Amino acid sequence: MLRPWVIAVAAAATMAASSAPAAEPGDPIQFATARYGGWTATATTYVEYGRIKENASLPAVRDVRCSVSRNGLAIGLDRDGNFSVNLAGDDATADEDNRVFSTVNVRWLKLDGRRLDVKVVQTLYHRWKLNGVPYPHVDGEEVILPVFSGHLMVRTGPRDPWFHISSLIDDLANGQTLTVGHGKTIDDRIPRVYAFTVPLEGLKPALTWCGQQVESEAAYRLPQPL
């Protein structure tokens, strides 16, 4: 069942954590890191300047985020409790067959053997023109950049509604493996599809650790006093 999930941050889990090195003014400050099995977790404070009108040189916190990654799967958590799920491919996604990973080319997912349909939603260039309106043509009006910005939607079957991929958080945290089917059509007849697998063991405590970090006082402490 696809469903949103909010992690309840409980007692601290056993982990190997370390303080991050000092950052330059204005840089993201990585204030804590940890490893849970094959998962790497990093907690970061983002600092901005100019918010304090009386003294624009004073730093202020813009956001606090924590990320957990392994084998091309990255999960983010911000201080508002919002999750993001991103696929970036693994080391096997670039080889002699030129299998460079792209979100656009994700074909399907399997979570503990349960296959999920996938579709890509483009968010960089939203459609804005209405049908039947005689808009004037302007040369150079639209410049399409060769980049992708968007996210994945998933569903369990053709009769089910589409959900944002972040709705899988609960299933991922309690699952065993996620397999990603990826590839692109080399010609019109033969789609070249391959798969890579992400072990999910250790993800749940890593996400619990992230929840603790984004709520901690350490997130609001500069590595060096002003």
Per-residue pLDDT tens listing for the chain (226 residues): 443 333 333 333 334 444 444 444 457 999 999 999 999 999 999 998 888 888 888 889 999 999 999 998 999 999 999 999 998 765 544 444 555 678 888 999 999 999 999 998 877 666 778 899 988 877 665 655 555 667 899 999 999 999 999 999 999 999 999 999 988 655 556 667 788 899 999 999 999 999 999 999 999 998 887 6
DSSP 8-state class, residue 21: P
User: Taking CA 24 as the corner, what is the angle to CA 64 and CA 214, rounded to the nearest 5 degrees?
Assistant: 15
Contact yes or no for 182/191 (Cβ under 8 A): no
- Report the half-sphere exposure of 87 (CA within 13 A, side-chain side): 29
Measure CA of the first residue to CA of the last residue in the chain; give whole Å.
50
Q: How far apart are CA 174 and CA 123, in angstroms?
A: 30
Copy the structure tokens of residue 191: 């789609």
Cite the beta strand spans of the chain per DSSP E.
Answer: 16-18, 29-36, 39-49, 59-70, 73-78, 83-87, 106-111, 114-122, 150-155, 163-164, 177-185, 191-199
